Structure 1
Amino acid sequence: MSATVTPRRRGRRAPDDGPRATFRQLLPFLLEHKKVLIVVAVLSILGAAATLVQPLLVGQVIDRVQHNQALGALIWLLVAFVIVSSVISGYQHYLLQRTGTAVVYSSRRQLIARILHLPIREFDARRTGDLVSRVGTDTTLLYAVLTQGLADAVGNVLLFAGALIAMLVIDPVLLGLIVLVVGASVVVVVLLSGRIRTASTAQQEKVGELASGVERAVGSIRTVRASGATERETVAVTGLAEEAYGIGVRIAKISALVVPVAGIAMQLSLLVVLGVGGFRVAAGALSIASLVIFIMFLFMMIMPLASAFGAITSVNQALGALGRIQEVLDLPAEDATDEPVRGERLMVAGSPIVEFRDVRFQYPANVVEARRSAERAAKDLLVDAHVEPTDALDGDATGGPREVLRGVSFPVTRGSRLALVGPSGAGKSTILSLIERFYDPTSGSIRLNGDDVRTYPRDELRAHFGYVEQDAPTLAGTLADNLRLASPDATDAQCEQVLRAVNLGDVLERSPLGLDAPVGEDGVMLSGGERQRLAIARALLTEAPVLLLDESTSSLDGVNEQRMREAIDAVATGRTLIVIAHRLSTVIDSDRIVVLQGGEVVGQGTHEELLESTPLYRDLARHQLLV
């Protein structure tokens, strides 16, 4: 059993080259909740006003005490403003927490929708774990924008501005000294903020690599154990965790420089006010009440400033994560990559149901590089890698991706059975990928009922085909979940019928749950042959007119292979079959066999005709003891 090493690795990117978002890109996520944010802004204004009134009331209390005047209702008014500002702050905190959660949900919803609609080439060129990390870890950092950063800063700006104006009225000289101290601290924080964003982006990239490494190791755990590669995998994945840790420590160091700046600014400002303010009180230029009010406003100005410094860290980390989210959201969806073909679909009578006309194809360079990286990683771990498709891994004379298909032409007659045979890397699986429009040909055309497949919307096109890929995945869940993936409205009776048709009746009977029996993660509770037959049953249930079977009997023993052939024969009546096979014994009775070598068709015909006309086919048959 070979290990499946997911070909998602990309070349490492320097941190400075990572995707970065701007605040403008964050706005759409926030504007979805603009009504709540308006309420928060209003509460911020009211809360700031209630807080700014308090020093003025304290000043009046001091004056009345100094002049032996009754306090009256003044003290109760001060208590009322304290309570009001606290209640406003609590409710504002609740709204921000709720809105932060909503922003995370909104970003995840958009990201999930875009990921599941990306062209297949993007999945071939990216690591699955990295995409999962963007949905989970990266989106979570957006929560801090509202709960710890941006919205808090908005409210605190009002408090800061109000305190600044009040201090200017009380004593412009003292304020000027404070501005010098605070201004220096702001410059330091601004210089550090850019480094925080860069490091945060690098950390999220590394977390994505870590998720990919864990996914690969866990997904191939049996082969890793059997190959004695457990320690090597542990070291490799732990190394990624260590790199992420190192970047996290760097962020912590930079953040640790930001936090003391606010504390130093606060202490220096207070010392300046006490020293210079005390001197001015002694000189009669400032009253004791005014000095106390000034100090209270000083705290009101410095505390929002400290919060704003913390917000800079939170927002920069969030923008680093948003850059990775936006990178995926900016990718075009699969349908958006269509190149429209002019003309109506004619449904030409008597035309082949499927036809290849001089089709040439080569994989994009980034997909080829991703697969080469996956193969190198597998070799480094001494694990037998199985990377599909392998057609594109070899380069041409210039080192770039070579053509996988070179002028391939053949018709598929309606209701017939066509087999694709040839050595590994000949382009067989690529042909099925092109029929399903996972990719489009570089040149030439593929026809369905005489019309270019590009005239069909992809969903409509794929409804014509029941596709069983090689090593078809089994979804975690139940038998019914797997069967109804493509046929959500299928009845229990239909599901049971198709399972028995592919010789899976014993799977139904060995559990009292029947169709609701769980299959385990990746179908671990089924044998390899049972997983393959379940995938075929899923395709048969769709009642698609064309079945595409990529090595559909490769995991079956001789007895079950024969039963599977009988089952396919029974359900193939009135359908067209396109079958990829390495064992010629499974396809010798096909109506037409197409022999591929190096991306070219080197022979077409029946088994007997190819034995006479095509040396490659004759050699394959001889090696499999068929002649």
Structure 2
Amino acid sequence: MDGTDRPVSKERMSTTSTPRRSPFGRSRGDDGPRATFRELLPYLFEHKGPLWAALILGLFGALASLAQPLLVSQVIQLVEKGDPLGALVWALVALVVISALISGYQHYLLQRMGEGVVLSSRRRLVARLLHLPIAQFDSRRTGDLVSRVGSDTTLLRAVLTQGLVEAIGGAVTFIGAIIAMLIIDPVLLGLTAGVIALSIVVVGALAGRIRTASARTQKKVGDLTASIERAISSVRTIRASNATAREIATVDEDATGAWRMGIRVAKVSALVVPVAGVAMQASFLVVLGVGGFRVASGAITIASLVAFILFLFMMIMPLGQAFGAVSATNQALGALGRIQEIIRLPREADDDAAVAASLTDPGVASPDAPAIAFDNVTFAYPDAAAAVHDDSENTEKRRPGDAVLRGVSFEVPRGRRTALVGPSGAGKSTILGLIERFYDATGGSIRVGGVDIRALDREQLRAGIGYVEQDAPVLAGSIRDNLLLASPDATDADCIRVLHAVNLDDVLARNPLGLDAPVGEDGIMLSGGERQRLAIARSILSAPPILLLDESTSSLDGVNEQKMREAIDAVATGRTLIVIAHRLSTVVDSDSIVVLDEGRVVGAGTHSELVDSTPLYRDLAKHQLLV
């Protein structure tokens, strides 16, 4: 693509929600989005079966635990009287075993449910990510988005596995223990309650700090992931520039930032643990001291005091679970805020119905209408995307909101070949992006077959268009995976046929795996020309009525360029082609050539007509020895 027509690499993109950024795109002083507990509930309720089973098991486990101090009290009373214990001991053993079995199965259910919550949140997030408008990818860092799918969703598991559901079951034990303690000795209960109430106030004050620190930590982890993705994807350029040490320092800076925020979370969370421990020890000492005095005075019996102490431990245990649940839930809510930020973004097609309904004259498909027609089209990239474009290697710097296209009008006849030429930054690749509806024009109209492009369903529109980008992206996987991307039902024979058409037979021959031969990350196992030819083969295989080729032969040598032109000529019969080219030799035989400069059409016609009528085209042709 041209310099101004396409976004720069993703590592240079900045997040839209953070207006002030460092040179590497990291925000400063942003705590990140926050979620509420209500937003977490739908993720939990997606797994109602295991959730209710775990809650019921927790209830039975609580009842089994509450029965144990009562049996212990009766055993002590029988021992004091010298009576036989009978079945009480076996009943106590049975309760202990039952409690252990319930606890183990409940733990399994919670772990399984936690994995289900992570899976469903990842599915929901990925589905939204891949449907976002292209402008969102222009303005966000790839690594940060990956971090939300990987790291942030994982934290949702902690809500279930680190105490939330167990704390709900523990609430039954807590309330039951309080009632039993009230019956045994209200005085001891009052003293105990005072100590515990103070600890609850302290934990409540820490909860907000945990959530804020956790949100900041996840954001730092996102920055780290983005930096690693940036370094790995550009490792050859970094090595060739002798910038390895500097890049390591950059990643280390992000890693250190994530570590610092992690330590901050650890410090705040660590305060919860001693609060619970101090509350338990203080309560135990108070009960032991005051309780011993009350036993000596005859206010309560030794059996009652032992039962009270056991109930005290049963009350403290769920309290500790609740404290852990507070910490885990607040960390999860910090991560959920980052997930929900993406979920709340509109999908690419969300506004299609409203846009289509607002059109006063969408047109009617007509076989006599031009395949594509631009009518006084203006376009400016969205502010965030424009800022990114402004960082690219442009010949013409643009401020956010500046027009890239200014009143562009031309027609592409059906079944003909039209070329777009002009200097870098003229807006050529932007035109192809508008035809694909990666963006919508900010003024004027674009018609396909006589129908306003905004009235067409995006998927149906794109199904009829083959698009080969300048940088010829190749997906990690095999040759077959790349070819079947747009044509999933194509046969092996079809794949081999198009590979032969673009002169890629040698790629099949050099690997015994044939179509299953891996191409590496970003097609690194192929040369630049082979990647470009594979991308063209992918479009040819889908046999669309319209082909958009953006500098499709820029990486080819003379021999392969000629073969590629022959392949394109072969598939061009009966199809509409729009070709962008800097080498005029590849487009001089086009049916029509549109000359662009600074976002405007400055000439249109055949090669010979433009040489006579358009000074810019004449200069381009002279520099390339075509006149």
Provide TM-score, normalisation by structure 1: 0.94
Deviation at residue 478 of structure 1 after TM alignment? 1.2
Match of 2:131 among 117, 124, 129: 117
Match of 1:368 in 2: 386
Match of 1:186 in 2: 200
SS in 2 for 1:336: coil
- Is contact 1:7–1:371 with CA below 8 Å preserved after alignment? no
Q: Which amino acid in structure 2 is aligned with residue 580 of structure 1? A: I
In the superposition, relative to structure 1, how do residues 347 and 602 fare at CA in structure 2: closer, same or farther (>3 Å)?
same
1:88 aligns with 2:93: no
Match of 2:521 in 1: 521
Query: What is the CA–CA distance in structure 2 between the aligned matches of 1:234 and 1:5, rounded to whole Å?
Result: 18
Q: Which amino acid in structure 2 is aligned with residue 424 of structure 1? A: S
- 1:452-467 matched pairs, under 5 angstroms: 452-467=452-467
Query: What is the CA–CA distance in structure 1 between the aligned matches of 2:163 and 2:88, rounded to whole Å?
Result: 35
Match of 1:394 among 395, 398, 405: 398
Write the deviation string for residues 292-314 of structure 1: whole angstroms up to 9, x where unpaired. Answer: 11100110111111121111111
Match of 1:412 in 2: 412
- Is contact 1:15–1:198 with CA below 8 Å preserved after alignment? no
- Is contact 2:34–2:336 with CA below 8 Å preserved after alignment? yes
SS in 2 for 1:340: helix
Deviation at residue 16 of structure 1 after TM alignment? 5.4
In the superposition, relative to structure 1, how do residues 54 and 216 fare at CA in structure 2: closer, same or farther (>3 Å)?
same
In the superposition, relative to structure 1, how do residues 370 and 317 fare at CA in structure 2: closer, same or farther (>3 Å)?
farther
SS in 2 for 1:42: helix
Match of 1:319 in 2: 333
Query: What is the CA–CA distance in structure 1 between the aligned matches of 2:86 and 2:161, rounded to whole Å?
Result: 40
Query: What is the CA–CA distance in structure 2 between the aligned matches of 1:474 and 1:433, rounded to whole Å?
Result: 19
Deviation at residue 606 of structure 1 after TM alignment? 1.1
Query: What is the CA–CA distance in structure 2 between the aligned matches of 1:479 and 1:16, rounded to whole Å?
Result: 43
Query: What is the CA–CA distance in structure 1 between the aligned matches of 2:9 and 2:384, rounded to whole Å?
Result: 20
Extract unaligned runs of 5+ from structure 2.
Answer: 16-20
Match of 1:34 in 2: 48
Deviation at residue 625 of structure 1 after TM alignment? 2.0
Match of 1:43 among 39, 57, 60: 57
Deviation at residue 173 of structure 1 after TM alignment? 1.1
Between the two proteins, the alignment pairs up a number of residues equal to 608
SS in 2 for 1:404: strand
- Is contact 1:153–1:308 with CA below 8 Å preserved after alignment? yes
Match of 1:379 in 2: none
- 1:431-450 matched pairs, under 5 angstroms: 431-450=431-450
- 1:295-314 matched pairs, under 5 angstroms: 295-314=309-328
Provide TM-score, normalisation by structure 2: 0.94
Match of 2:13 among 8, 14, 19: 8
Match of 2:35 in 1: 21
SS in 2 for 1:326: helix
Query: What is the CA–CA distance in structure 2 between the aligned matches of 1:296 and 1:344, rounded to whole Å?
Result: 77
Query: What is the CA–CA distance in structure 2 between the aligned matches of 1:83 and 1:223, rounded to whole Å?
Result: 63
Q: Which amino acid in structure 2 is aligned with residue 572 of structure 1? A: A
- Is contact 2:372–2:448 with CA below 8 Å preserved after alignment? yes
Deviation at residue 344 of structure 1 after TM alignment? 6.8
Match of 1:170 among 184, 207, 217: 184
Q: Which amino acid in structure 1 is aligned with residue 256 of structure 2? A: E
1:340 aligns with 2:356: yes
Deviation at residue 623 of structure 1 after TM alignment? 1.8
Query: What is the CA–CA distance in structure 1 between the aligned matches of 2:230 and 2:552, rounded to whole Å?
Result: 25
Match of 2:605 in 1: 605
- 1:184-583 matched pairs, under 5 angstroms: 184-338=198-352, 339-341=355-357, 342=359, 346-372=364-390, 375=391, 394-395=398-399, 400-583=400-583
SS in 1 for 2:259: helix
In the superposition, relative to structure 1, how do residues 391 and 482 fare at CA in structure 2: closer, same or farther (>3 Å)?
farther
Deviation at residue 405 of structure 1 after TM alignment? 0.7
> Percentage identity across aligned positions?
65
Deviation at residue 325 of structure 1 after TM alignment? 0.7
- Is contact 1:358–1:444 with CA below 8 Å preserved after alignment? yes
Write the deviation string for residues 104-130 of structure 1: whole angstroms up to 9, x where unpaired. Answer: 111111111111111111111111111
Query: What is the CA–CA distance in structure 1 between the aligned matches of 2:403 and 2:469, rounded to whole Å?
Result: 22
1:107 aligns with 2:111: no
Query: What is the CA–CA distance in structure 1 between the aligned matches of 2:465 and 2:50, rounded to whole Å?
Result: 48
Deviation at residue 231 of structure 1 after TM alignment? 1.1
- Is contact 1:348–1:450 with CA below 8 Å preserved after alignment? yes
- Is contact 1:596–1:603 with CA below 8 Å preserved after alignment? yes
Write the deviation string for residues 28-59 of structure 1: whole angstroms up to 9, x where unpaired. Answer: 11111112211111111110000000000000
Q: Which amino acid in structure 2 is aligned with residue 366 of structure 1? A: A
Write the deviation string for residues 1-44 of structure 1: whole angstroms up to 9, x where unpaired. Answer: x9955443334445654111111001111111112211111111
Deviation at residue 337 of structure 1 after TM alignment? 2.6
Query: What is the CA–CA distance in structure 2 between the aligned matches of 1:76 and 1:15, rounded to whole Å?
Result: 62
In the superposition, relative to structure 1, how do residues 434 and 414 fare at CA in structure 2: closer, same or farther (>3 Å)?
same
Q: Which amino acid in structure 2 is aligned with residue 505 of structure 1? A: D
Deviation at residue 370 of structure 1 after TM alignment? 3.9
Question: Which stretch of structure 1 is more off in the superposition, 612-621 or 535-544?
Answer: 612-621
- Is contact 1:363–1:392 with CA below 8 Å preserved after alignment? no
- Is contact 1:368–1:393 with CA below 8 Å preserved after alignment? no
Query: What is the CA–CA distance in structure 1 between the aligned matches of 2:164 and 2:387, rounded to whole Å?
Result: 40
Question: Which stretch of structure 1 is more off in the superposition, 306-315 or 536-545?
Answer: 306-315
In the superposition, relative to structure 1, how do residues 141 and 371 fare at CA in structure 2: closer, same or farther (>3 Å)?
farther
SS in 1 for 2:603: strand
SS in 1 for 2:548: strand
Query: What is the CA–CA distance in structure 2 between the aligned matches of 1:97 and 1:544, rounded to whole Å?
Result: 48
- 1:589-600 matched pairs, under 5 angstroms: 589-600=589-600
SS in 2 for 1:335: coil
Write the deviation string for residues 556-609 of structure 1: whole angstroms up to 9, x where unpaired. Answer: 112211221121112111111101111111111111111111111111111111
Q: Which amino acid in structure 2 is aligned with residue 358 of structure 1? A: N
Write the deviation string for residues 447-484 of structure 1: whole angstroms up to 9, x where unpaired. Answer: 01000111211110011110001102111111111101
- Is contact 1:392–1:403 with CA below 8 Å preserved after alignment? no
- Is contact 1:15–1:201 with CA below 8 Å preserved after alignment? no
SS in 1 for 2:356: coil
Query: What is the CA–CA distance in structure 1 between the aligned matches of 2:218 and 2:58, rounded to whole Å?
Result: 32
Query: What is the CA–CA distance in structure 2 between the aligned matches of 1:433 and 1:4, rounded to whole Å?
Result: 17
Query: What is the CA–CA distance in structure 2 between the aligned matches of 1:216 and 1:210, rounded to whole Å?
Result: 10
Query: What is the CA–CA distance in structure 2 between the aligned matches of 1:244 and 1:183, rounded to whole Å?
Result: 34
Extract unaligned runs of 5+ from structure 1.
Answer: 376-385
SS in 2 for 1:470: coil
Q: Which amino acid in structure 1 is aligned with residue 562 of structure 2? A: Q
Query: What is the CA–CA distance in structure 1 between the aligned matches of 2:386 and 2:11, rounded to whole Å?
Result: 13
Match of 2:18 in 1: none
- Is contact 2:31–2:212 with CA below 8 Å preserved after alignment? no
Match of 1:378 in 2: none
SS in 2 for 1:420: strand
In the superposition, relative to structure 1, how do residues 393 and 137 fare at CA in structure 2: closer, same or farther (>3 Å)?
farther
Query: What is the CA–CA distance in structure 2 between the aligned matches of 1:566 and 1:6, rounded to whole Å?
Result: 38
SS in 1 for 2:350: helix
Q: Which amino acid in structure 2 is aligned with residue 394 of structure 1? A: R
Q: Which amino acid in structure 2 is aligned with residue 191 of structure 1? A: A
